[in-house]
Structure 1
Amino acid sequence: MSAMFTATLHPGVALGFLVLGASLHDVLTRLKAEPQRFPKLDLVYSPNQPVTEPVILSLPANGLRLRFDGAEQRLRLIEVIDFTLSRITYGHPEKDIVKPASLPGQGITSPKLGAESSSGPSFRNIYHRLMGPTYAGEYIPPSDDDKSNTGTYILSYPGVAFSFPLPESAYSPDKDVVSLLSAPASQTAISMAVFSGKSWAEAREILWTDILPSVKSAYVFSKSKDIVPDEISLVKIHGGGRLQLFKKWTSASLWIILGETTPQELVAELGPPDAIYRKNDQKMYIHKTRTASHSRSRSNNGDYKRPDDLTDTDQSSANTGSDDTDEEAVEDEFVGNVSGECFYNYFYLGFDILVSPPVLASRLPPSQISTTNRNPSEKPIKVDSTNRLVATKLVLHGNVPGSYPFNRHRRCRWEISYPSSGSDAVDNSETQFNELEERLREEWKNIYMSEDDANKRQRGMVLNRGWGDSPGSSYEFTGGWEDSSGGVAAKKFDGNEESTTTLYGFPGLVFEVLKNGYVSAVTVF
């Protein structure tokens, strides 16, 4: 038997630990850490527009429904659709919004007119005891095919609203709210919504686009020991290995220069990684130019280190494991260069950073050469610095619903600054790849001898995530799906996820594209 979810209502802010503005990844991670309390999670999304249409997370065993916007994947609306499956309190001192059902042996009595009902809060309890008076609400008439002819009356307060059934024949715009909801059939609310705004009528117009306040400022965190790190709201790709990371809810930003930024600088700006992963990936080496050396040797055992605390619940367990399989190298020279390579996994920021000996950064885009004072790709590597470790690659994860690595990382939004299309269009994480490809080809057209040469060099390379060893995949960065890393229960491929993706490359960029045309991940090098 599952434990009942108990939460305090904070209008306009949160319902318990479910805070408006929290990311889909954070919420799912927390819910999956307590399977006894949240035994079933149903995710609904648009297969054709998974990052532009809202994502709905239903908790049928708890009577809750959570709605997230598609682009940022932030919690925008919390709905209670069955008051009997959760216990919700409000006020100081806290009072139950719905009187708990009588325990076995205590007898069951019918509620008096206007009294509390175990199926939902009564109008009298809300209007006279809990929330107090409010302005007239909004009546939504029944649909044409509704044979009951019963509409819905929305009683709205700042940050919270209650829905009451109201027959169409009983509604009149001339009646006040007390007269309208005094009928026995309209005594009990059937649902409750928590949102950011002064009223539901005002909030629903900007529900998916409104800039939500910082999660750090939420009342539920004011006296909590939980540490909420600064989020990265956008990664702007400038080309030539230069990336600008903007912090959420502030005007601050930081730069990562591939080939120069050190691990110490990464930790100082981003904090310690959620995990560090070491593995020798040779699966794409056949596509590189071979050197004169053909000897074979054994590499060091790969190891995967998990953090001690990846969830915010006491019920979660932190494990430490390792990948005991040896990876066989192809070239001695390559083996020597990866002795200190590792990925810094930032699951809660949405990206991975490869730390390795420095390499030449990718060339600057043609449109950026005249506007950039220094070209990192033209800066030679110092001989005495080849043994030091720097950031050389950044993998930005889209966390697209339906994709195989979904919920491995938080969604990371990105934007490419340099394609000059002559329009107001912005190439970003919500743009379909066919549009990105067209503008990037125009940007780099001068490096190809002909259109046929461009087509040959930009052919897609198909991967299958379901096989578990796709090159350059999250499997390579964070270990196998059998591991329970990142504080998220491992999800094995069962045929429902989109496991087949295609890689497309441009100078300094590799896009992993789903069948619906959206980018699942982009690698910057």
Structure 2
Amino acid sequence: MTVVANREKALGASLHNVLTRVKSHPQIYPEIDLVYSSANPLHDPIVLKLPANGLRLRFDGPDQRLRLIEVLDFSRANLVYKNQEVVKASKTGDMSSTSQGPGFRHVYNRLFGPSYPGEYVPPTDPHAQYGTYVLSYPGVAFSFPLQHSAWSESCDFVALLSSSAALSATSMSIFQGPSWPEVRAKLFIQQPQYPRSSTVMGKSRDVLADEVEGFHIFGAGKLEVERRNSPPAQIVLGETTAQDLIAEFGPPDAIYRKHDRRISIHRAASGLGAGEALHLGSLPGTGLEIADTDHSSNNSITDDSDEEVSSNNISDPTSLPAESFFNYFHHGFDAFISYPATPGPAFPLSSLPEPSSQPSASQLTVTKIILHGNVPGSYPFNRHRRSRWTIHLDSSDKTLNSETPYDEISQTLRDVWRGSEAGVSGRRDMQRPMVLNRGWGDSPESSVEFLGGWEESMARGPRNVSDGHDGGLGNTELFGFPGLLFEVLKNGSVSCLTVY
């Protein structure tokens, strides 16, 4: 394998993009190890280890963007920088005999040239013979073992690293920034310079739609989509058409017609009583229904299977079925296309007017938006890239976002809706979860086998019982508020948000 040290085509890439590419080449990447925090998967960094390739990739938790590439074994890959080998192979071409990296002279004379002095890190073990000297260039840093007895602040670092006191580099780091000391404190929080996918670089809007940075949810069926280079796009549920969606975000990655009726019983008229339908999915007294959850194709194996619709003629409204789902895997969301329906109400503290009833119409519109969290450990992990969102509750700065723990989201939304007609009549339902089991049946493109069953060991039972057991079903819970449906993991992370 040849790894070209081109930061523009790697750093900033989404975890979804990198994992998809790595998994598609099992001969090149035979071993994949994903490490993340089971308690805080959306805040702590995510580490992708490729032991057979000598690489370790670090992503930030909230945005899941690649921030750091580490080469830990130089014998596992042929590293090239501007057509120059970073590590010279032996005369026989065999690099497997040693994991040592380039020597200081090779780095200094042939690869990158003069550099400012680096940093010396003394050994933590007082009996250790070697410390580490980190030599930084813009975007690249090398770690050289250096005899601790030879180190002195007054020494010329070029002479010191050229002497026998220093060994060849043991690791190399690739990052965004002028030097490692300047960037390490803000490595996982600074704005990435490059897009999530290298395919969008240098492409015009006519060729490829601008990538989505985040969704702003204002209630009353109104969403604003923040994009990297283009002005924000507006989505109004019940008004935005399929053609509008395609014009703004490009053709969907897939289109499916849904036949899943597994929770339709929960969308019956209000009331609990003998012989009546269970009522959990709608808010009493509001006329609003809790939307079906997860209309992407990864949760669709039922008595009736999903039907994939050809995307060749999606510009023709007559070619679409009455209800279909536009899957934008690389944008992180799905859109439910159906006949117009009245969206959820405005937030009580919002200045937006209540949405009006939608007239009967033959033109299909977007009636639901499903935003996927791509939480490590969740059942549909890596089906979509992570979608970030913000809920704007009023005209001030009162907001909730995709990294907010659900307990905080729930308490805030109950306070917001307290006293309103919808909040009073639906208070019981807003506090009762519906259990969604993703562990039975087949699931196309699921990566649960790849992850190794985190849900089985860390996400069992009620959310308030850390060591409960449900047989490893991988259950999540659904919580509904007017116009919003949250799918929540046992650690409190929001795996999916449906806006309807």
Please indicate the TM-score interval, normalised by the length of the shorter structure.
Answer: 0.7 to 0.9
1:27-85: CA deviation from partner (whole Å, max 9, x where unpaired): 11111111100111111111111001110101100001101000100000111110000
Q: What is the distance in 2 between the residues matched to 1:408 and 1:339?
A: 24
Q: What is the distance in 2 between the residues matched to 1:107 and 1:63?
A: 12
Number of residue pairs matched by the alignment? 443
1:304 to 303, 308, 313: 308
Letter of the aligned partner of 2:231 in structure 1? A
**Corresponding position: 1:178 with 2:158:** yes
**Corresponding position: 1:289 with 2:271:** no
1:502 to 457, 471, 477: 477
- Which stretch of the first structure deviates more once superposed, 506-515 or 184-193? 184-193
**Corresponding position: 1:265 with 2:244:** yes
Aligned residue in 2 for 1:394: 369
Q: What is the distance in 1 between the residues matched to 2:269 and 2:416?
A: 30
Deviation at 1:177, TM superposition (A): 1.2
**Corresponding position: 1:208 with 2:188:** yes
Q: What is the distance in 2 between the residues matched to 1:147 and 1:27?
A: 41
Q: What is the distance in 1 between the residues matched to 2:399 and 2:155?
A: 50
Letter of the aligned partner of 2:37 in structure 1? S
2:383 to 378, 398, 408: 408
Is the contact made by 1:153 and 1:163 (CA closer than 8 Å) also made in structure 2? Answer: yes
Letter of the aligned partner of 1:381 in structure 2? Q
Aligned residue in 1 for 2:420: 447
Deviation at 1:229, TM superposition (A): 4.2
Aligned residue in 2 for 1:132: 113
Any stretches of 5+ residues in structure 2 without a counterpart? 271-276, 278-302, 313-319, 460-473
Q: For 1:426-445, what aligned pairs fall within 5 Å after superposition?
A: 426-445=399-418
Is the contact made by 1:419 and 1:443 (CA closer than 8 Å) also made in structure 2? Answer: no
Aligned residue in 2 for 1:82: 73
Deviation at 1:447, TM superposition (A): 3.0
Aligned residue in 2 for 1:325: none
How big is the alpha-carbon RMSD for the aligned residues of Structure 1 and Structure 2? 3.1
Aligned residue in 1 for 2:233: 254
Q: Cα distance 1:306–1:192, how it changes in 2: closer, same or farther (>3 A)?
A: farther
Q: Match of 1:79, SS? A: strand
Q: What is the distance in 2 between the residues matched to 1:307 and 1:262?
A: 16
Aligned residue in 1 for 2:437: 464
Aligned residue in 1 for 2:216: 236
Any stretches of 5+ residues in structure 1 without a counterpart? 110-116, 309-337, 469-479
Is the contact made by 1:100 and 1:118 (CA closer than 8 Å) also made in structure 2? Answer: no
Is the contact made by 2:417 and 2:423 (CA closer than 8 Å) also made in structure 1? Answer: no
Q: What is the distance in 1 between the residues matched to 2:484 and 2:225?
A: 17
1:305-341: CA deviation from partner (whole Å, max 9, x where unpaired): 5889xxxxxxxxxxxxxxxxxxxxxxxxxxxxx9510
Letter of the aligned partner of 1:506 in structure 2? F
Deviation at 1:188, TM superposition (A): 0.4
Q: Cα distance 1:300–1:453, how it changes in 2: closer, same or farther (>3 A)?
A: closer
User: Aligned residues: percent identity?
Assistant: 46
- Which stretch of the first structure deviates more once superposed, 227-236 or 254-263? 227-236
Deviation at 1:222, TM superposition (A): 5.4
Q: What is the distance in 2 between the residues matched to 1:464 and 1:178?
A: 61
**Corresponding position: 1:97 with 2:86:** yes
Letter of the aligned partner of 1:454 in structure 2? R
Q: Cα distance 1:228–1:85, how it changes in 2: closer, same or farther (>3 A)?
A: farther
Q: What is the distance in 2 between the residues matched to 1:108 and 1:246?
A: 47
Deviation at 1:183, TM superposition (A): 3.1
Q: For 1:309-348, what aligned pairs fall within 5 Å after superposition?
A: 340-348=322-330
Is the contact made by 1:102 and 1:108 (CA closer than 8 Å) also made in structure 2? Answer: no
Q: What is the distance in 2 between the residues matched to 1:426 and 1:71?
A: 16
Deviation at 1:351, TM superposition (A): 0.6
Q: What is the distance in 1 between the residues matched to 2:54 and 2:64?
A: 21
Q: For 1:377-392, what aligned pairs fall within 5 Å after superposition?
A: 377-378=355-356, 380-383=357-360, 385=361, 387-392=362-367
Q: What is the distance in 2 between the residues matched to 1:290 and 1:167?
A: 77
Deviation at 1:289, TM superposition (A): 2.5
1:330-389: CA deviation from partner (whole Å, max 9, x where unpaired): xxxxxxxx9510100000000110001111111111111xx23x53x22x3233x1x321
Q: Cα distance 1:123–1:300, how it changes in 2: closer, same or farther (>3 A)?
A: closer
Is the contact made by 1:154 and 1:161 (CA closer than 8 Å) also made in structure 2? Answer: yes
Is the contact made by 2:68 and 2:174 (CA closer than 8 Å) also made in structure 1? Answer: yes
1:443-479: CA deviation from partner (whole Å, max 9, x where unpaired): 11123598796134431111121114xxxxxxxxxxx
Is the contact made by 1:52 and 1:430 (CA closer than 8 Å) also made in structure 2? Answer: yes
1:161-187: CA deviation from partner (whole Å, max 9, x where unpaired): 100011221111111111221233523
1:224-254: CA deviation from partner (whole Å, max 9, x where unpaired): 9xx7642111100000111100002x36101
Q: Cα distance 1:218–1:172, how it changes in 2: closer, same or farther (>3 A)?
A: farther
Q: For 1:157-168, what aligned pairs fall within 5 Å after superposition?
A: 157-168=137-148
